[in-house]
Amino acid sequence: QVQLQESGPGLVQPSQTLSLTCTVSDDSISSGNYCWSWIRQSAGKGLEWIGRIYASGTTNYNPSLRSRVTISIDTSKKQFSLKVRSVTAADTAVYYCARSIAARGDWFDPWGQGILVTVSS
Amino acid sequence: DIVMTQSPDSLAVSLGERATINCQSSQSVLHSSNNMNYLAWYHQKPGQPPKLLIYWAFTRESGVPDRFSGSGSGTDFTLTISSLHAEDVAVYYCQQYYSSPWTFGQGTKVEIK
């Protein structure tokens, strides 16, 4: 059973860049059969899909965040990453990474445990 | 974006009784090419990530008890827990994957009466 684990700073200062990494426990990250998403959950906006990446490096982003977000992948390290630039308090949330099956349906399973990121000075 | 609206926001059900959660999408999530509804259900327990219960509106994920069932088509969907167990206390979410950006309902909290 594949496992995903988020890591990164829990506190980011306003206007700075939030950077998170998701480590995948098996080699499925290198397979074109899957895609890898970031999702966040905040009290104000609930669950919000941020974007996804394929092993090929192809990305899709939520238009609401596209101008500030970059997702990248390093299959050799079994990791994919999220960067959110120019953060504000509204970016405070629990950030999850999750997997979906490409060309089948974009439901998410499994999810990482999540990491709370607080934007504050 | 497709807006997903769940009702009720919360409900309290006695153990062994039926719980029904509704989810409405702002546009149809039924794909004409394959006649499938692009709708999933999750539950989330405190301190845990959401867990997939159902996809394609009614297909139970492996290992999910058969007391969980999904129904509906087009814009109106229902998740039913036929006999509530104590471990079913959670927040339940629907999600559409018909059109990007994928969107979630606001959640329905299920408690024991």
Q: Give residue-wise pLDDT tens across range B37-90.
A: 999 999 999 999 999 999 999 999 999 999 999 999 999 999 999 999 999 999
CB contact under 8 A, B52 and A64: no
End-to-end CA distance of chain B: 36
- Please give the pLDDT value at position A53: 97
Residues in chain A with CB shorter than 8 Å from the CB of B35 are: none
How much of chain A exceeds pLDDT 90, in percent?
92
- Please give the pLDDT value at position B69: 98
Burial class (CB in 10 A: 0-12, 13-18, 19+), B87: exposed
- Please give the pLDDT value at position A29: 92
Contact B63/A at CB under 8 A: no
* Alpha carbon of B86: minimum distance to chain A alpha carbons (Å): 22
Residues in chain B: 113
Answer for the pair A4, A97: CB distance below 8 angstroms, yes or no: yes
Residues in chain A: 121
- Please give the pLDDT value at position A105: 85
User: Which run of H or E residues covers position B52?
Assistant: strand B51-55
The average confidence (pLDDT) of chain B is 97
**pLDDT lower than 50: segments of chain A:** none
CB contact under 8 A, A111 and B97: no
| pLDDT above 90 for B6 | yes
Task: Please give the C-alpha separations between residue B42 and each of A64, A111, B1, in angstroms, as whole numbers.
Answer: 23, 11, 20
Compute the radius of gyration of chain A from its Cα atoms: 13
In eight-state DSSP terms, residue A67 is: G
- Please give the pLDDT value at position A45: 85
| Contact partners, residue A59, CB within 8 Å, separation at least 6 | A51, A52, A53, A71
